[in-house]
Amino acid sequence: MADKVLMKGNEALAEAAILAGCRHYFGYPITPQTEVAEYMAKKMPKIGGVFLQAESEIAAINMVIGAAAAGKRVMTSSSSPGVALKSEGLSYLAGCDLPALIVNVQRGGPGLGGIQPGQADYFHATRGAGHGDFHMIVTAPATVQEMIDLVGKSFDLADKYRMPAMLLADGTIGQMMEPVTLTENTSAPIEKPWAVTGYDGSRPRNVVNSLFIQPEDLENLVMERYARYAKIEAEEQMAEEYMTEDADIILVAYGVAARVCRNAIKAAREKGLKVGLIRPITLWPFPKKVMSAAAEKAKAFISVELSMGQMIEDIELAIRCRRPVLLCNRTGGMIPTPAEVLAKIDEAAKIGG
Amino acid sequence: MAECIDELGIQSKTIGIASVGCSVFSYNYFNCDMVQAAHGRAPAVATGVKRADPSKIVFTYQGDGDLAAIGTAETVHSAARGENITVIFVNNAIYGMTGGQMAPTTLPGQVTQTSPYGRDVQTVGYPVKVCEMLSQVDGAAYLERVAVNNVKNLMAAKKAIKKAFQNQIDGKGFSLVEVLSACPTYWSMTPEKALERVASEMIPYYPLGVYKDKYAEEGTK
Ligand SMILES: Cc1ncc(C[n+]2csc(CCOP(=O)(O)OP(=O)(O)O)c2C)c(N)n1
């Protein structure tokens, strides 16, 4: 077992990417994720990797497309306004079936918003990351250790399913320091016979492309992609359950919001209220299975988020609206306090939770 | 800038475009109507405002990252269109707002958060010389580089800025004034030393002067 070291979330994720074999990083500075670029600027030249500061996020994501097409493990990172700019590129990654890691250390929005933590890019990440029919694998870390673990996991899933994966973090997790264990990613690199590595006649020519003039061809491709998505939905859902066993009220929260919930649950339990937490680790695929199973016993759900009620829609869909789902939220860079969550738990208890 | 606006008596019809950078709060400091643009897009927003009402005097106030990295396309194309706006370009050779990363104008060898071993031109290329580059763009009317490191240069800077506004009043088209300035915070220097660096390192790399004055060349219309 490797030693524990104290690391900042953003730096931990950068180191984790290197440990996962990523040697190509393209980015553009933006708070609160700039430490990723700064870390890569220091490390990559020392290990024969590539760090390049692009002139914009649009350029950065297109550099990612190029390196991914060449078969490399590649990533970019940014925060909300910058990730929005990458949208076009995200759609092209999906349309070209290219694996890559995109990190969004979210801040408050919309527009320039603020630089405090946010979760208001949930819809963008899980629904509207760009034009066209596509999904990205979206994971959400709640600890610095998970920043590390999900980086390796995201790279592997992206390669396995040939699609972009997004790590949807928030400013708190990016900026906070925690003791972590860094481990080498041991998964064997996946063959990428489709990569543009130079045509010498020994294999068919490789063309990385998202243009299909014949609608039948395009439809077939999208259908094929959605069959892959169905497999992912069946096999890759991830969530952590905390004190859900006997829970009447289930809190659902990811990232920093989940940390707040743990404190609220402790306080609620002391008052004799049976409250538990489901913490989605994959936001797409959304952990519908545990959510649906929990709805068999629980009487009410509360979506705790740093946004105006975005994830709540996925909870309602997952449980087919069989139970009431309340919203406990702050936005614009504000974080709900355990007391605010507790007040919402009391409200849920009153309506029969 | 504000003095020029007052002296020209144009405050009531001036619209400023704040960019993203340390200039982001310029909407708090200029006593005129302002629009806050997305990173790099100020010249495009200015174009929209100007085209919506050409009688307005429209300026942008942008840093080097904003104008010469993410906003290069907007900069070049607003110049190429001969957009009748005034662009004030603050070149401090660093990304200040985000904490001192390499800018497109960071000098060779300069250490920043994202060029921790000094800007290596072999791998990340050379600084962008905006006035020189835009002097090749036919649509640009007036380009001048000034500095604000001493009183003499400051007075010259004001003259250039005033001219850039006067050009717009006269309908002469795209005017840009590049202002070499210090960033003591992220150059990790005292303000005094930082001003010295402007003279000893910035000005030699970015020579001051008029890079283009279309109407001086052609005679005023
Ligand atoms: C799309 C987008 N990407 C990145 C940022 C983060 N950001 C804010 S200011 C800035 C750079 C500012 O540098 P510069 O233009 O040189 O101005 P200075 O701060 O030095 O005055 C960046 C990258 C942002 N706000 N929006």
**Cα B29 to Cα B16: distance, rounded to the nearest angstrom:** 11
Sole residue written with tokens 């790399």: B205
**Structural domain spans, chain B:** 2-219
The alpha carbon of B173 and the centre of ligand 1 are apart by a number of angstroms equal to 27
Q: Tell me if B178 CB under 6 Å of ligand 1.
A: no
**Cα B45 to Cα A177: distance, rounded to the nearest angstrom:** 40
Q: Is the pLDDT of residue A210 over 50?
A: yes
Helix residue spans in A20-106 (DSSP H):
34-43, 57-69, 80-85, 87-95
Contact state of B98 with A56 under an 8 Å Cβ cutoff: no
Q: How far is B71 from chain A (nearest CA, A)?
A: 8
- The set of residues, in sequence order, having a beta carbon less than 8 Å from that of B76 and lying 6+ positions away, is B133, B134, B137
Nearest to B98 among A31, A51, A111 (CB): A31
- What is the pLDDT averaged over residues A281-292? 98
Nearest to B114 among A41, A58, A112 (CB): A41
How far are the Cα atoms of A24, A314, A334 from residue A289, in angstroms, in the given order?
A: 36, 12, 30
Return the amino acid letter for A111.
G
CA angle (A68, A69, A71) in 5-degree steps: 65
Tens of pLDDT along A211-244? Answer: 999 999 999 999 999 999 999 999 999 999 999 9
Tally C-beta pairs within 8 A across A and B: 52
Q: Which residue of B has its CA nearest to A30?
A: B98
Tens of pLDDT along B202-218? Answer: 999 999 999 999 998 66
Q: Which residue of B has its CA nearest to A32?
A: B98
Q: Tell me if A107 CB under 6 Å of ligand 1.
A: no
Return the amino acid letter for B221.
K
| pLDDT (0 to 100) of residue B221 | 43
Residues of A in contact with B99 (CB under 8 A): 29, 31, 34
**Cα A57 to Cα B32: distance, rounded to the nearest angstrom:** 31
Kindly state the tokens that stand for A277.
């937490």
The helix (run of H) or strand (run of E) holding residue B186 is: helix B184-187
Kindly state the tokens that stand for A161.
């399913």
**Cα A206 to Cα A218: distance, rounded to the nearest angstrom:** 18
Query: Is the CATH number of domain A240-351 3.40.50.720?
Result: no
| pLDDT (0 to 100) of residue B28 | 93
Closest CA to A66 of A56, A78, A76: A76
| pLDDT (0 to 100) of residue A38 | 97
Tens of pLDDT along B134-187? Answer: 999 999 999 999 999 999 999 999 999 999 999 999 999 999 999 999 999 999
Q: Tell me if B96 CB under 6 Å of ligand 1.
A: yes
Within chain A, how many helices (H) and strands (E) appear?
Answer: 13, 14
| pLDDT (0 to 100) of residue A183 | 86
Contact state of B116 with A53 under an 8 Å Cβ cutoff: no
| pLDDT (0 to 100) of residue B61 | 97
Kindly state the tokens that stand for B184.
């003591």
Q: Is the pLDDT of residue A353 over 70?
A: no
**Cα B201 to Cα B129: distance, rounded to the nearest angstrom:** 14
Here the ipTM equals 0.82
Question: Given the CA of residue B90, which atom of ligand 1 is nearest to it?
Answer: 21
- What is the pLDDT averaged over residues B126-136? 98
Contact state of B36 with A28 under an 8 Å Cβ cutoff: no
- What is the pLDDT averaged over residues A290-307? 97
Q: Tell me if B105 CB under 6 Å of ligand 1.
A: no
Sole residue written with tokens 């979760």: A119
Kindly state the tokens that stand for A178.
């925690």
Q: Tell me if A81 CB under 6 Å of ligand 1.
A: yes
**What SS3 class is residue A22?**
coil
Pick the CATH number of B2-219 from 3.30.565.10, 3.40.50.670, 3.40.50.2300, 3.40.50.970: 3.40.50.970
Q: Can A4-189+211-235 and A240-351 be said to share one CATH topology? A: yes
- The set of residues, in sequence order, having a beta carbon less than 8 Å from that of A241 and lying 6+ positions away, is A276, A277, A278, A279, A290, A294
Sole residue written with tokens 């619209």: B15
DSSP state of B101: B
Q: Is the pLDDT of residue B219 over 60?
A: no
Sole residue written with tokens 């090749």: B136
CA angle (A203, A194, A168) in 5-degree steps: 170
Pick the CATH number of A4-189+211-235 from 3.40.605.10, 3.20.20.70, 3.30.565.10, 3.40.50.970: 3.40.50.970
Mean pLDDT of chain B: 96
Q: How many residues does chain B have?
A: 221
